[in-house]
A and B are shown apart, each in its own frame.
Chain A
Amino acid sequence: MTHAISCQTLDVDLAGRRILCGLSFHIPEGSIVAVLGPNGAGKSTFFRTLLGLTPVTRGALSLFGQPVRRGRADIGYLPQTRSMIGPRLTGRAHIMATLEGNRWGLASKKRSTEELEAVLQELNATDLADRPFGTLSGGERQRLMLAQAMLGHPRLLLLDEPLASLDPGRMREVAELTGNLVRARGITALISAHDINPLIGIVDRVLYLAGGHARIGTPDEILTAPVLSRLYGTPVDVFHAPSGQIFVAPGREA
């Protein structure tokens, strides 16, 4: 069986600084993975490396058995930095611009496609798509960009903080919607986040990045005090609330 993602002693440097160091793991096809870690841990860098936008410094990184390269059509991507250009264009116009934008030509006269309308419906975003992009709330914009990432039958989905700037209720809703869409299509998905809780029960694996190193496993294996303490290099406590929620906090020296 081919793995969706395989890293072999992968190093990634940016501006002479080692960001990711000695990553070695495989992610089987169809997994849904939460990518966790503090600010600056390299979550976005890992995504950009998978997209071929940031070069591999050392080691090997392959997607579906092939070395990474830029411009693969089978990766859906939701960047972390959300541009606010063209605020008066409708959401639909924004998505359509991304759809055929890698081909030469003046402009697409198509207003929409069947696939887009179907995905919008699944995400409850049909009405949002008619409104000017700039008048949408952060969370509404997020849902449209999520629809954008789902188009073109991707095999791999890289969602960089799709839950950022959502209220707690919406976080869970968008996480569940995403989980259902992805599972129904058998897509491998990496979802970066700062909080595991909205993703509990949706992801089957956690990739935890800290200090340039990575650990991967089921949430129960990774979100434990010993594993995270080793990863961070300082004591970390993990609390389990009766509701099933998990909290990671800096620990006290024993």
Chain B
Amino acid sequence: MLAFEFMRQAFLASALVGLLAGMIGWFLVLRGQSFAGHALSHIGFAGATAALWAGMPPLAGLLIAATAGGMGMSLNNARHGDRDIAIGLTLSLAMGCGSLFLYLLHGPASTATALLFGNVFGINQQTLQILAGTVLAGLIGLGTIGRPLLFASLQPELAEARGVPVQLVSTCFMAMAGLATAICTEVTGVLLVFTLMIGPGATALRLGLNPVTGLCTSAILAIAEAWGGLTISWYTDAPVSFCIAALSAAIFGLTTLFRRRG
């Protein structure tokens, strides 16, 4: 199957995406922000359709909207319940805007399907370069703020007292979460970013691994699930997004079962 150029591109793209999505996802789950991560992809969807409508590449719109959305969300200091309401409303509004732009666009239905469910086999050389650049930026970002981010996530008040710029760290992190979500959309589509962002991170945390091991495990799992999904899809002809989603859910489910027994 690797004889085909598009397959090699797809494997490369999902490795890049899995690497960043797995690590960012671990932090999102740790911080209890998986719902926010989900909403980011919907904000990205609105951005992508707006970009299409304006005659720009959708990935640009995705990246800009999701990153800005993440930074905006980090400034919302409301209590947990109120925050979920705000995120839910933003998410719906973003999807609504997306459908409006699609309507204005009069584009083919396949455009919407590709955005919603991903189009990993349609990734070209240029997109791959953008993905690589984004992943590099994200990894450099995590390499810089990882330690204070972990501290601020686990013990926010203590971190503040020790002089960690908690708000700045959280805003940087959510901007990076926006980047990761945007590129994840290229593989899994808007609706299924949970599969690569949240599934592996949740599995790694469930295993009770210490932070460094957990982060690496999460990234490896994300890549493995993406590659596994591509392979299954190749042999069964089922949609890639379905295969990745099924694998991600199955691995998380098995881990939970195993941990409960053990």
Contact = CB atoms under 8 A, between A and B. Distances in A.
Task: Say if A and B assemble together.
Answer: yes
Interface of A: 51-53, 70-73, 75, 77, 79, 81, 83, 85-86, 88-90, 92-94, 97-98, 100-109, 111, 132, 148
Nearest to B210: A93
Contact of A85 (B147, B153, B163, B210): B153
A70 B31 CA distance: 24
Interface of B: 30-32, 142-148, 150-164, 205-208, 210-212, 214-215
Nearest to B156: A83
A67 B25 CA distance: 41
Nearest to B208: A88
B144 A101 contact: no
Contacts of A106: 142-144, 146-147, 212
A102 B163 contact: yes
A75 B160 CA distance: 13
A85 B150 CA distance: 10
Contacts of B207: 88
Contacts of A101: 147-148, 150-152, 159, 162, 164
Contact of A77 (B158, B210, B211): B158
A116 to B, nearest CB: 14
B161 A75 contact: yes
A79 B162 CA distance: 12
21 contacts: A53-B160, A71-B161, A72-B163, A75-B161, A83-B156, A85-B30, A85-B31, A85-B32, A86-B30, A89-B210, A93-B210, A97-B154, A97-B211, A98-B159, A98-B162, A101-B148, A101-B159, A102-B151, A102-B163, A105-B147, A108-B212
A101 B212 CA distance: 14
The 4 closest A-B pairs by CB, nearest first: A71-B163, A101-B151, A106-B146, A79-B157
- Majority SS of interface residues in chain A? loop
Contacts of A100: 147
Given A89-B211, A97-B151, A107 B146 contact: yes
A85 B158 CA distance: 13
Nearest to B148: A101
A109 B150 contact: no
A105 B208 CA distance: 22
Contacts of A108: 147, 212
Contacts of A89: 154, 205, 208, 210-211, 214
Contact of A70 (B153, B154, B163, B205): B163
A102 B155 contact: no
A1 to B, nearest CB: 27
Contact of B206 (A75, A85, A88, A92): A88
A107 B162 contact: no
A83 B155 contact: yes
Given A77-B158, A79-B157, A97-B211, A102 B164 contact: yes
A132 B262 CA distance: 14
A136 to B, nearest CB: 13
A238 B156 CA distance: 39
B55 to A, nearest CB: 40
Contacts of A51: 161
B163 A86 contact: no
A198 B241 CA distance: 60
A47 B120 CA distance: 54
Nearest to A102: B162
Contacts of A72: 163
A86 B212 contact: no
Contacts of A79: 155, 157-158, 161
B154 A98 contact: yes
A200 to B, nearest CB: 29
B31 A105 contact: no
A85 B151 CA distance: 11
Contact of A102 (B148, B154, B208, B211): B148
A103 B151 CA distance: 10
A151 to B, nearest CB: 11
Given A86-B154, A97-B150, A101-B147, A111 B160 contact: no
A63 to B, nearest CB: 13
Contacts of B30: 85-86
